[in-house]
């Protein structure tokens, strides 16, 4: 998979994509991630990328030209263009599975007070990572990239994501490691029993209990 990210702040991505699982996925060529500063595409003599809003109002608005030209250069028939915006569809694990099947994603990070609404016309999807306002789409694009890259074949053990939270609309069961007792808190005896059927039943039940208590909305699905 190839992921192109359009931003005015390329440095923000340096640490995130050079650590841990994403770093390994890049080295092993499971994913190619390119960061583009769309200011480089501005035809303005001063490389301006924003202007005042028509009709008046606060702040500056990202202009169409640099983003249109950057997308135009990167886009192929296989591309899915995604705008990160708080008024997009709220991102869920299910969408991560769907996007992980794509060949090429172009993620556009908005910034400042907003962007010219005509930018939406070149986007296939608009995604929000939650009902809160970030200073820009950068963190949102990192979240989306991270959640997709870990699902790409060979990046992490397939079994790990079959059992994780949100699969089958259930939250993950609790896990423990050594020592068996820590500050008086004991690991549930069933996990030490060696009885795999009992362990499986226990985990399923704990998943359901946790989901009921924390996310009853998931069980309704
Ligand atoms: N840009 C600002 N806030 C955002 C959010 N919640 N999701 C995606 N992009 C954003």
pLDDT at 163: 66
Pocket lining for ligand 1, CB < 6 angstroms: 84-86, 110, 128-130, 132-134, 136-137, 140
The whole-model pTM stands at 0.94
112 has a pLDDT exceeding 70: no
CA 57–ligand 1 middle distance (angstroms): 21
Q: Over the stretch 55-71, which tens digit does the pLDDT of each residue have?
A: 999 899 999 999 999 99
- Mean per-residue pLDDT of the chain: 95
| Nearest ligand 1 atom to alpha carbon 129 | 7
Report how far residue 167's alpha carbon sits from residue 177's, in angstroms, rounded to the nearest whole number.
23
Distances (CA, A) of 147 to 10, 58, 135, 144: 20, 34, 21, 5
Pair of tokens at residue 117: 């609404």
Structure tokens at 166: 């949100």
């Amino acid at each position: 998979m190839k992921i192109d990210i359009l931003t005015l702040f390329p440095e923000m991505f340096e640490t995130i994509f050079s650590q841990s699982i994403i770093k390994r996925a890049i080295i092993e060529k499971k994913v190619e991630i390119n960061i583009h500063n769309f200011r480089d595409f501005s035809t303005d003599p001063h490389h301006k990328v924003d202007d005042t809003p028509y009709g008046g109002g606060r702040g500056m608005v990202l202009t169409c030209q640099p983003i249109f030209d950057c997308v135009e250069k990167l886009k192929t028939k296989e591309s899915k263009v995604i705008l990160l915006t708080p008024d997009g569809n709220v991102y869920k694990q299910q969408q991560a599975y769907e996007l992980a099947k794509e060949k090429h994603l172009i993620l556009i990070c908005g910034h400042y007070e907003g962007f010219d609404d005509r930018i939406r016309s070149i986007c296939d999807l608009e995604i929000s990572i939650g009902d809160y306002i970030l200073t820009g789409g950068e963190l949102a694009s990192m979240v989306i990239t991270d959640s997709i890259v870990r699902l790409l074949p060979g990046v992490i053990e397939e079994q790990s994501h079959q059992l994780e939270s949100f699969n089958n609309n259930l939250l993950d069961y609790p896990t423990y490691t050594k020592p068996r007792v820590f500050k008086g808190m004991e690991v549930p005896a069933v996990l030490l029993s060696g009885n795999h059927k009992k362990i499986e039943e226990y985990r399923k039940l704990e998943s359901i209990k946790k989901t009921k208590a924390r996310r009853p909305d998931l069980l309704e699905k």
